[in-house]
Amino acid sequence: MKEHLGAYTFKSDSPTVITIGTFDGVHAGHQKIIEKLVNTAKLSNMESAILTFFPHPRMVLQKESDIKLINTIDERKKLLSNSGIDHLIIHPFTHQFSRLTAQEFVRDILVHKLNAKKIIIGYDHRFGRNRTADINTLKEFGKEYDFEVEEIGKQEIEDVAVSSTKIRKALMEGNVEKANRYLQQPFMLTGTVVRGKGLGKDFGYPTANLKIEENYKLIPKNGVYIARAEIDEIPYFGMMNIGTNPTVGGTEQTIETYFFMLDQDLYGQKLEIELLTRIRDEKNFDSIDSLKRGMKQDEAFSSQFIKDNYAE
């Protein structure tokens, strides 16, 4: 897959089959559309391309919007890189771009820059200034600029919308197993390991404190989770706590992971941590000893879960 930072940097002599969308989560519904895109391109002897936008349009046009996304843009790129498409075009969404008319968008970007000969799009897709154009407008432009339009069926589009909504809801409820079923892959949190207060080490549970820069990233409900990460190409399991650590007087949300069987300084490393299941809510234990006993129970539960589900 070739990545293009904006439509104006796109270079290919081949005609393209294009679909347009956010593809947040790259979940099962998205994967069906991408499969259709890739197969259509191969049968037509063209190249497949996804046109997506960043920042999310709502971040630009609705400054008060507190939109939370399943993936950061880097996570989305990684997931799409495994989908079989030829080109991923990430176009900067700006106020100026939002003022393009539908004809300008189609003529100047889809046709002239991206060499689109076929556009696969949802029946409810709207585009152009103030989102006034729809698929019927696009079909009219297709006659004028010599490209085909294939409509993604209503059921497929609704599957995508429902899946995205259900994934976000499941994550906010802490139900990562349900979210993972929709995603067909584990939900991930990506960030840099930074220094925390170091309290976990005092309890015998040294943790990697994950800092996520992207404030639009959806963080699951506070609680204790079983997690997994690949560190130096070796998979490690662990326990992740998302919360404020109330037992030790914490007030700010942190994301801390204790990795089993790992004795390594991770400060400064970028980690991609997958969430596998949720163990329990975060608790305010009545003493440090109670906290330690609780963590021992969590560790025993985690070991059994990993043995039952991931033992080779």
Which residues are part of the catalytic machinery? 256
Tokens standing for residue 96: 């100026």
Determine the Cα–Cα distance for residues 91 and 212; give it in Å rounded to an integer.
23
Burial of 212 (0-12, 13-18, 19+ CB in 10 A): middle
Contact 225, 240 (CB under 8 A): yes
Backbone phi and psi for residue 290, each to the nearest 5 degrees, phi listed first: -65, -40
Q: Residue holding tokens 């070991």?
A: 303
Residue 80 DSSP SS3: helix
Tokens standing for residue 52: 């997506």
| Of the candidates 61, 128, 133, 134, the residue with the CA atom closest to the CA atom of residue 99 | 128
